[in-house]
Amino acid sequence: MLEQRRFVLWQIATSLLVGSLTILIFRFTASPLSFPARCLYYIHFNDLPETESRLAEFLLLLPIAVLLISTARVVVGISTFGTFTPALFALAFREVHTMIGIAVFLGIWLIGTKVRGWIDHFHLLQIPRSGLMLTLVIIILLAFILITHRIGYEASVFIPLFPLITLTGMIERFWTVSNEEGDRSANRTMLSTLAICIGISFILSLPGIISWMRSYPETLGIILAALIGLGRYNGFRLSELVKYGNMLQSIDSLHAKESLVH
């Protein structure tokens, strides 16, 4: 039964990949006067109004961000706080053109982790505690909006505010990792999450990627096939290969020293 399910899964992935590639090839090679080509002519997002265009762009780029984060976690071995939350932040950082947005992100995270540690002493239930943290993050954001307005700036210039609300879940995960694995592991995971968000934001800001996804949305089928493939990956991560490679080198050097002694 398990083998049949795996076979069906690979069939789905192969069908998505072949189907998407076939549509892409057909777009470039088929006669513009043919009926399928005329149908495909209307499947794009280049002529939407500005508001709908930005929404479509966000939705088209989000699966790419998820694919990149999944690859970083599954193949490379980089730890992050979740998958969807870093993807949202990566898309949010696309709108940031200064370091102030990243500073706001770090500032809210630092304040949130300190407040989360203080709240932990009261032993609140998880659901009310999460609601409390969400409300505190919103209060911080409202204070930021008010301060930037008083000094003559717009808060949205620095960073889109809505994704920052998802910091609540990231703060909870940070606190959990800190308690289970120590502050060093939690801080390392937080820094790697922030680094991946910034890196993906630069990748998704490339005009070629945005233009391609607007014109050829069938690329999402290739992304689905890639995610299915990653879901079945059970090999070594690159970080593990580096770690084990260094370990083997140390063992070889130790054996070499012992042979010289003897």
Kindly state the average pLDDT of the residues 254-262. 58
Q: Which of 116, 111, 142 is nearest to 130 (CA)?
A: 116
Domain residue ranges of the chain, discontinuous segments joined by +: 50-215
Is 8's pLDDT higher than 90?
no
Predicted confidence at residue 125, as pLDDT, reads 86
> Using 50, 70 and 90 to split pLDDT, how confident is the model at 149?
confident
Kindly state the average pLDDT of the residues 25-54. 79
Kindly state the average pLDDT of the residues 54-65. 91
Q: What is the pLDDT of residues 171-182, one digit of tens each?
A: 888 888 888 888
Predicted confidence at residue 98, as pLDDT, reads 54
Query: What does residue 141 show for φ and ψ, rounded to 5 degrees?
Result: -65, -40
Q: What is the pLDDT of residues 184-226, one digit of tens each?
A: 888 888 889 888 988 898 899 899 999 999 999 999 999 999 9
- Residues 215 and 48 sit within 8 Å (Cβ to Cβ): no
Most confident of 142-151, 202-211, 230-239, 249-258: 202-211
